[in-house]
Amino acid sequence: MDTPESKTPATEKTALTVGSGAYHAELANVLRQAGAAAFYDAMARLVATLVDCNKWLVMRYTAYDKPAFLVNRAMSERACAFYLEGLYRLDPLNKLARTRPRTMVININQFHNEPAADDKYLNEIFRAAFIYDELAVLLPAPGGVTVAVCCERGRRRFEQADLDTINGIVPILEAMHQIHIDRAFSASFDADSGAASLRQGDAVLIVDERGSRVFTTEKWRQLESELGSCSQLIERASGEEAGHVELNLSYVLHWERLGAEFALAPKGTFLMIERQAPAPAKISADEAVATFQAMYSLTPREVEIVQLVLNGFPNERIAEQLGISIGTVKNHRWRLYLKLDITSERELFYLFLSAVLDVDVGGSGGSAETGQSQSTESTDSQPVA
């Protein structure tokens, strides 16, 4: 996720070939990080280098709350803030993680053809504003979480050979992901107190097959105390494969049965209390445009200009579409930008999305301009998922 203008490499690297000595060395490095905070950065670097990328990030998608950045070597702080303020509601990977949580390799330019026509309009605008082309590996984790390793090239599209390369190592990525989760949970477990500090920001409880508590975060204990006893819900969860209950307008408790391979509690139950963030946006193209028009009192001609610009039409195409001269188009755009207090096409994208999603990013869309950032990892003790 990044604008095409960001071209500064995150780190210097050498392209990898599956099976080479350098590839095996990178695999070994990822495995050495299993259970540690640097694991997902090491995994993302491996994936990115195999497909000749110098920008990557790792996202954490959840069942109810907004996404989180586990690793960021692609987006500026302002762009991240804009995304977390509400743009995530248009992120196709966020929608996919919630509706089809399974391991897969996705090319964003191929995937965006799937949604219905109304969704496709906003998806196109999301991509134009933030993504040129992106390849992502989605890896499910306990608690309705999906970890997405995302690679961005800039102005070169991914080809089928790139997807084939990553699909070929998916079983290895899955296995390393599982080892990391098992090690992180086991390392964080405090056998003396029955407490853990895996991710203090998450309210997590794990019970074993008999219903005994084996893992609890401080956040779970805090919310359980504030919201009242969850003992009946915990007992219910232990007898069901999966489910959820809204605790109040802000929080939801959801659970799922763990597999026999989960080392800490084979066939146990994973419970999580999450905030309910706004769900992925469901708004038609007509509704989106009408909202923007009303907010800025645009004329019918200005609305036509906005729609064509958002669809990627240059001035020449806009002139052909509207049957007017290029000079007239330029005049319309100048007056439109003056009315909106912006100076660039990209600011128009941001302003439109801000209006549609009711997002305040501190002024014009230009305040969210993206650029290269340093690695930003979770501040929790173990960014498992």
DSSP 133: -
Same domain, 157 and 30: yes
Same domain, 171 and 313: no
Q: Considering the entire predicted model, what is its pTM?
A: 0.78
What pLDDT band is residue 368 in, cutting at 50, 70 and 90?
very low
Same domain, 182 and 236: no
Domain-embedded: residue 343: yes
Same domain, 177 and 197: no
Label residue 205 exposed, middle or buried (CB < 10 Å: 0-12, 13-18, 19+).
Answer: buried
Q: Return the closest-CA partner of residue 80 out of 385, 361, 355, 381.
A: 361
Q: For residue 70, give its domain range.
A: 21-186
Buried b (16+ CB within 10 A) or exposed e, 305-344: bbbbbbeebebeebbeebeeeeeebeebbeebbeebebee
Same domain, 26 and 77: yes
Q: Hunting for tokens 């950045």 — which residue is that?
A: 69
Domain end, chosen from 186, 212, 236, is at: 186
- What is the amino acid identity at position 97? A
Say whether pLDDT at 250 is over 60.
Answer: yes
In this prediction, residue 218 carries a pLDDT of: 87
Q: Return the closest-CA partner of residue 59 out of 354, 379, 377.
A: 377
Domain-embedded: residue 372: no
Element housing 39 (H / E): helix 39-50
What's the pLDDT tens digit per position in 7-38?
334 444 556 888 888 899 999 999 999 988 89
Which among 45-49, 107-111, 229-233, 364-368 has the top mean pLDDT? 45-49
Domain end, chosen from 223, 248, 275, is at: 275
Domain-embedded: residue 161: yes
Domain-embedded: residue 344: yes
Say whether pLDDT at 4 is over 50.
Answer: no
Number of domains in the chain: 3
Q: Quick check: 59 and 211 in contact, CB under 8 A?
A: no
Q: Indicate which CATH number applies to the domain containing 226.
A: 3.30.450.20
Same domain, 26 and 131: yes
Same domain, 159 and 60: yes
**Whole-number Cα distances in Å, 45 to 27, 52, 73, 148, 253:** 10, 10, 10, 13, 34
Domain-embedded: residue 87: yes
Domain-embedded: residue 385: no
Which among 70-74, 87-91, 370-374 has the top mean pLDDT? 70-74
The mean of the pLDDT values for the chain is 81
Same domain, 104 and 203: no
Domain-embedded: residue 150: yes
Q: Indicate which CATH number applies to the domain containing 321.
A: 1.10.10.10
Same domain, 107 and 92: yes
Question: Which range (27-41, 157-171, 189-203, 224-238) has the least confidence?
Answer: 189-203
Domain end, chosen from 186, 221, 238, is at: 186
Q: Quick check: 22 and 29 in contact, CB under 8 A?
A: no
Question: Which range (4-13, 147-156, 324-333) has the least confidence?
Answer: 4-13
Same domain, 302 and 170: no
Same domain, 340 and 264: no
Domain-embedded: residue 136: yes
Same domain, 96 and 209: no
Q: Indicate which CATH number applies to the domain containing 89.
A: 3.30.450.80
> What is the mean predicted confidence (pLDDT) over 126-146?
81
Token pair of 244 as six digits: 């959820």
Q: Hunting for tokens 């599209």 — which residue is that?
A: 157
